[in-house]
Amino acid sequence: MKTRVILVGIGGATCSGKTTLAKHLRRILPNSVIVHQDDFAPPQELVPVHPVYGVQDWDRAEGAIEWPRMVKALEEVKRTGVIPPEHVSHDHLNEQKDIPIDDTVFQKWKSQFERIEEEYRAKGEEIKWVLVDGFLLYWYPEVVDKLDYRIFLRVPYEVLKQRRHDRHGYHTAVQSDPEGSLWRDPPNYWEQIVWPAYVEAHAGMLENGDVERGKSNGRVEGLVLFDGLELSMSEMVGRVCAVLEDGITGSSSS
């Protein structure tokens, strides 16, 4: 039995709904796992201090992720379809807000991908899905190159700001300290650190550098952009499943 590993990138700003979307897809797609980009953050003592505001900057792309470690992990997952045993996730420590989807949507797509899985197995091929979610997913070319699908969720500034404010914090656990500590945003952290870093990391892939309204400019090849407020989570799941179905059924007949 051959194994085919498909990496699905699900990117977007903090609080855009990307992790929620990834978790719904994991329930639908057979043989699927999630790799969280947050798990590749450096140890807290190595996070850079912002040169102007004097606080740790967890968001600027250069220092927010240990990029070579993430690339190596994705290469391993792509080769095996299994998350490396030494990789420890801390996502379960973070606040998990439940945003359910319609059961009819769930059942429709679960059945559809189970059928697709059976068709591939009958031809001697096992499909494994790896969902990669992250707030800087399309900044580092070597990460982008590993992704077979590139989904991007966009949500307006004010909505993201409110969602971030409503969160109680983020656990900053790393591989050497799986429990880590809770990070709470200092005053004005959203305005001074989070949003400017998001704009800096994403302006180059959208027309006119407009992260709220600009279309993909083609810099990230194959980017599929969804405006998060225009779709319910059920609709979002359905749209992404349709993209994946179209890609995998098209490739099987070619």
Residue 56 has pLDDT above 50, yes or no: yes
Sheet holding 125-134, edge to edge: 32-36, 125-134, 2-12, 149-154, 223-227
Q: What confidence tens digit (pLDDT) does each residue in 107-135 have? A: 999 999 999 999 999 999 999 999 999 99
Q: Is the pTM of this model over 0.85?
A: yes
Are 174 and 65 in contact by the 8 Å Cβ rule? The answer is no
Lowest mean pLDDT among 33-42, 87-96, 98-107, 233-242: 87-96
Residues above pLDDT 90, as percent of the chain:
75
Q: Tell me what pLDDT residue 1 has.
A: 87
Q: Is the pLDDT of residue 64 over 70?
A: yes
Region label for 180, one of left (φ > 0), alpha (ψ between -120 and 50) or beta (otherwise): left
The residue with tokens 């699927």 is 32
Alpha carbons within 13 angstroms on the beta-carbon side of residue 33 total 15
Tokens read off for 54: 């004097």
**In which domain, by residue range, is 247 found?**
2-251
> Based on the structure, what is the number of domains in the chain?
1
Give 3-55 pLDDT, tens digit per residue: 999 999 999 999 999 999 999 999 999 999 999 998 898 988 899 999 999 99
Q: Please, how many CA atoms are within 13 Å of residue 40, restricted to the half-sphere of its CB?
A: 23
Find the CATH number of the domain harbouring 146.
3.40.50.300
pLDDT of residue 249: 87
- Judge residue 45's burial from the number of C-beta atoms within 10 Å of its C-beta, 0-12 exposed, 13-18 middle, 19 or more buried: exposed
What amino acid occupies position 5? V
Mean pLDDT rounded to a whole number for the chain: 90
